[in-house]
Amino acid sequence: MKFSVLSLIGRAPHPLTGELPSAAERFEDVLETGVAAERLGFDAYAVGERHAGPFLSSSPTVVLGALAARTSRIRLLTGVTVVAILDPVRVAEDYATLDQISRGRIELVVGKGAEAGHFDLFGLDEDRQWDLQAEKYELLRRLWSEEKVTWEGEFRPPLKEVTTVPRPYDGLPRIWHGSATSRNSPELAAKHGDPLFTANAIQPREAYAELIRHYRERFEAYGHDPANAHVAAGSGGLFIADTTQRAIEQYKDFYEARVRQNFKPHLVDKPGYNTPFRTIEDAIENGPQLIGSPQQIIDKILAYHEVYRHDLQSITVDGMGLSRSRQIETLARFAEEIAPVVRREAPSKLWS
């Protein structure tokens, strides 16, 4: 298995103390953690994109550019690129530029986004979100795969013999499809033979497993080699302690206060927005959160792997109430005590 670290660059008051770091401090956290992730042997570092809510990730290209300049090996992913609200021409230009600067280390994870509100912000109809997603993704794919593209669609002006510049570093970069609640993203990924990135963050495991099953079935139905149906999975947060009891003692108050802070009453009936794992004990027992001893976390990742058969595990230490030094210590402990075991027990040919 491969491992990626994700930051959504959240900036909300600490749910217990009310402390609010400056924007500059948060960006420094992300950059320093990304540099540490490369040093510790992680395979990828991902930066999210949010345009609503308490986040600073509205410009992931800028943050990834800074990371590209300070790293040399680690792959740089998005998590996700909200292609449904963006101009595909601009996406093609920006990320091909990053691909050149990083010498081929950029991979996109495209999705419609997990924050209600950004469609209104960009003057788009949320009811058409999947139509927007499909059309804009397919145009982006053509812009990166072809030159002199002539195209006409519903959501942007036509193009006539357009070649975006710069071109990607070494052909079409890998594009993952973020999947959380709908079959639309797994279907689009399967159609184009692309990998799937399941959110695996808020819903119960079976909800994500059903979407992955649909993806694999449709991937083969579209005529693609099932061996290339790569899957990645999120995790909802990482907190390591010597024992489960110590993890509960150290993290319970923060975890449950953050759940209360993030609760969205106006979205209570929409899947994917409010976690059902409201206590830390429930999260440890039934949720995707990686909370507990190293062995407990190993066992949980491998249990999810039995169901998902995923190649890439994403972990998050950002937004966990940890100082920057504690975040890096947590990543180091994961790299030393957990990752080697999981890599051995669940080998993957992704990025080999």
Average pLDDT over residues 35-53: 96
* pTM higher than 0.95: yes
- SS3 sequence of 214-282: HHHHHHHHCCCCHHHCCEEECCCCEEECCCHHHHHHHHHHHHHHHHHHHCCHHHCCCCCCCCCCCCHHH
Q: Measuring CA to CA, which residue among 339, 324, 246 is closest to residue 36?
A: 324
Give the pLDDT band of residue 313 (cuts 50, 70, 90): very high
SS3 content of the chain, % helix, strand, coil (to 5): 45, 15, 40
Judged by DSSP in three states, 158 sits in: coil
Tell how strand 2-7 and strand 75-78 pair up.
Answer: unpaired
Per-residue model confidence as pLDDT tens digits over 240-272: 999 999 999 999 999 999 999 999 898 888 888
Q: Measuring CA to CA, which residue among 226, 251, 224 is closest to residue 239?
A: 251
Mean pLDDT of the residues in the chain: 96
User: Which tokens sit at 47?
Assistant: 């930066």
Query: Which domains does the chain show, CATH number per domain?
Result: 2-345 (3.20.20.30)
Give the pLDDT band of residue 319 (cuts 50, 70, 90): confident
Give the pLDDT band of residue 68 (cuts 50, 70, 90): very high
Per-residue model confidence as pLDDT tens digits over 213-239: 999 999 999 999 999 999 999 998 999
What pLDDT is stored for residue 115 in this prediction?
75
Residue 337 in this model has a pLDDT that exceeds 90 = yes
What pLDDT is stored for residue 199 in this prediction?
96
